[in-house]
Amino acid sequence: MQKKNSISIIIVNYKVKNELLECIKSIYGSKPKVNFEIIVVDNDEKKTIEKDLIKKFPRVKYFKSSKNLGYGAGNNLGAKLAKGEYLFILNPDTKFDNNVIDLLHNFIKRNKKVGAVSPLLIKQNDDSVARKFWQRQWDFESTKEVEVCPGTCFLISKKLYEKLGGFDERFFLFFEENDFSRRIKNAGYKLFIYPEAKLYHKLGKSTSKNPNSNKFFQKSRFLYFRKNYGILKAIPTELFLRINKYSLLLLLILLLALILRAYRLSELMHFIGDQGWFYISARDMLLTGDIPLVGITSSHVWLHQGAFWTYILALLFRIFNFNPFVPGYFIAIVDTLTIILVYIFASTLFLKKTALLSSFFYATSPAIVLAARMPYHTSLIPLFTILLLFSVYKWINGKVIYFPISILILGILYNFEIATFSLAGIILILLFFGYLKKEIWLKKIFNKKILFLSFISGLIPLIPFIIYDLNHGFPQTVKVIIWIFYRLAVFLGYPPLNPNAPGETWTTFFIFLQNLIKNFIFNPSKELSILILLIGLLFLFYKTVNNRRKKIKKINYIFILLFILVPAIAYIAAKTNSAAYTLIVFPQLMIMLGILFSFNTRHKIVNLSFLLIAILIGLTNTFVLFKSNFETNRTFRAKIEEAKQIIDVSRGKPYNIIGIGEGSQYESFTTPFEYLTWWQGHGPSKNKEELKFYLNGNTDRIEFREK
């Protein structure tokens, strides 16, 4: 009859085959007197150890998990399979120095108040690991009561392990032993290190195989503090612990970004007709209770922008009593926070150096800064674009729930600017590619739950458009799709239906495009900006076919390139002289520059030169922005003063504001002054009045004369 096992040794393996085999060999070599079993839970994604393990150690119980469960969950699984009275939790990157099992078993049997006991962990040079992690005053010879038993190795009764519920499986890696030790002590037991038992430990051998170790460490640390000390203490603690050279540099970049976006904003904020249209739309929504379904018309009068910006303005006006400055500061703050997402996303796909440079370029790009100083219906596009990048990237990396999230974000973007529809083309390209390659991330979409969520996610942001279309012939949902394909056909050579229709020539379009690139990259030089852009694109192409850095996947470069080229082609096809259409490429263009200027060679002087050039570009752009007063010809403060003059001259009489000159044909031309005069107590009349004020489009000034 086989004797009952007293100890179940549980080893969770992850990509350390050789170390595991050496560890098990040393266990048998230590010749424990107590009966034991060895259970190996294999967390590796691939089967790499089963044959050799069973061949060399047939008595070992091997269990292959369905996926990488994490360290705590792997041990919990092993504990369920265990038959022993005690559980011996053991890392595979360890090696027995003496009869550790018997020594720890005898110790815990003699002391009823011992919850768990660990051996003294030592490195190959006989230096104690505890010297780094525990009290330096300890002589490492006497038994030591501790607050935490190292998760590398400890002995605990199975009864107590099960009573406490084992490891908290929310800790994927790291801090699971801190949490478990805390629960052992709270249950009234003590924890010890028994130095007579010694165990060699190749520190970090297993965790180094996981490229996401640092992220798991930070996530688990925050979870530990949140679970045991509450969210209010956990957040500041985590923020403090994350301070390093990268976070400090990012903080400086954010500070610079906020200054550039908020400096003298109440004086220098741009305030054009289309902005005024949305201000009045939001005001009327609050005053009348009527919720608009669409926003201002696009360059094609039958097609409207969405009403989401109206809703956001209405919320801000409700909170801040219709103050016209508040939307400007709101966008300045949101765009500054967008930089954090740019940094996180860029550091996820590439290096932290790349992420910092991407953030710096985003913070100082004149085109981005000026867009962020102008509260407009397009102002939130960069935020949702980087969220879309995140979401799509998560989806094609196996997290299928991010597919409906991507569809939701596309719908939101479409409400801010219909030209963002071009981003849907990227989803279609990925779907087609996934079909050809028979990718798992595509197959997972064809699940009833995911398909339903995707449908709902796409429907919700389009509800205002759909309601509007029911009474207007479906211009926003059906006709617009037909029109998009028509524009593509014309771009590819199909003759336009109306050849005499006014539009941009290729000459005027490319002149505008060159100036746009200059504002994107390096304001003082159009030629240098175009050169940097072309080199950046070529470098991305190069990295998609010749990537020697194993830490960065080739698909990451392809991903950024795809999110640049598809919107760029759509923009060229539209051939429209409008910077508003370009906000969907802000984040990815700046990441492209970050990739280019963080390029590492074997020569430190070359690397340093790239870094200095990047810093010089950003600081020069900053200087130019301040010097040009952020390209403001007519200050917002001046418009407020003119609005006051209108009120003073009118002396309470009803009046009209009429547009004359350039741009006066547009419905929204006079809306900035209509809003500002209303905000200050006496807005224009909707009826025809004798007293009239004229807004001259050639000077952007009010002419005070009666007719």
pLDDT at 444 (0 to 100): 92
Q: How many helices (H) and strands (E) does the chain have?
A: 30, 14
Task: List the one residue out of 71, 74, 72, 68 whose CA is nearest residue 39.
Answer: 74
Helix or strand run (H / E) with residue 562: helix 554-574
pLDDT digits (tens, 9 = 90+) for 106-149: 999 998 899 999 999 887 655 575 555 545 567 678 899 999 99
In order of 310, 405, 560, 679, 698, the CA distances from 389 in angstroms are 25, 11, 9, 39, 41
DSSP assigned state of 479: I
Query: Does one domain contain both 39 and 132?
Result: yes
Q: At 132, which CATH number?
A: 3.90.550.10
Kindly give the parts of the chain with pLDDT less than 50. Answer: 1-2, 134, 707
Query: Does one domain contain both 610 and 647?
Result: no
Report helix, strand or coil for 201. Answer: strand
For residue 236, being part of any structural domain is answered with no
Query: Does one domain contain both 405 and 472?
Result: yes
Query: Does one domain contain both 642 and 625?
Result: no
Query: Does one domain contain both 155 and 277?
Result: no
Query: Does one domain contain both 602 and 641?
Result: no
For 634-648, b/e burial (b = at least 16 CB within 10 A) is ebbeebbebbeebbe
Q: Which phi and psi (to 5°) does residue 93 adopt? A: -90, 45
Q: How far apart are the C-alpha atoms of 416 and 307, rounded to whole Å?
A: 8
pLDDT at 124 (0 to 100): 64
User: In the listed set 210, 229, 259, which residue is the last one of a domain according to the structure?
Assistant: 210
pLDDT at 2 (0 to 100): 45
Query: Which domain range does residue 692 map to?
Result: 636-704
User: In the listed set 631, 650, 665, which residue is the last one of a domain according to the structure?
Assistant: 631
Query: Does one domain contain both 68 and 147?
Result: yes
pLDDT at 69 (0 to 100): 87
Q: How far apart are the C-alpha atoms of 563 and 557, rounded to whole Å?
A: 10
pLDDT at 216 (0 to 100): 84
DSSP assigned state of 84: S
In order of 39, 370, 640, 677, the CA distances from 663 in angstroms are 79, 21, 20, 20
Asked whether 265 and 376 are in contact (CB, 8 A), the reply is no
pLDDT at 1 (0 to 100): 34
For residue 264, being part of any structural domain is answered with yes
Pairing of strands 691-696, 701-704: antiparallel
For residue 220, being part of any structural domain is answered with no
For residue 595, being part of any structural domain is answered with yes
Give the amino acid at 585: V
For residue 194, being part of any structural domain is answered with yes
Query: Does one domain contain both 195 and 302?
Result: no
Q: What is the DSSP string of 619-661?
A: HHHHHHHHHTGGG-SS-HHHHHHHHHHHHHHHTT--EEEEEES
For residue 436, being part of any structural domain is answered with yes
User: Taking all residues of the chain, what is their mean pLDDT, rounded to a whole number?
Assistant: 89
Query: Does one domain contain both 281 and 345?
Result: yes
User: In the listed set 567, 596, 631, which residue is the last one of a domain according to the structure?
Assistant: 631
Q: How far apart are the C-alpha atoms of 150 and 539, rounded to whole Å?
A: 47
Helix or strand run (H / E) with residue 87: strand 86-90
pLDDT digits (tens, 9 = 90+) for 573-613: 777 777 778 899 999 999 999 999 998 888 889 889 999 99
Global pTM value: 0.80
Q: How far apart are the C-alpha atoms of 679 and 681, rounded to whole Å?
A: 6
As for how many domains the chain has, the answer is 3
Q: What is the DSSP string of 292-332?
A: PSEEEE-SSTT-EEESHHHHHHHHHHHHHTT-SSHHHHHHH
Query: Does one domain contain both 490 and 569?
Result: yes
For residue 225, being part of any structural domain is answered with no
Q: How far apart are the C-alpha atoms of 443 and 536, rounded to whole Å?
A: 34
For residue 548, being part of any structural domain is answered with yes
Query: Does one domain contain both 621 and 668?
Result: no
Query: Does one domain contain both 642 and 620?
Result: no
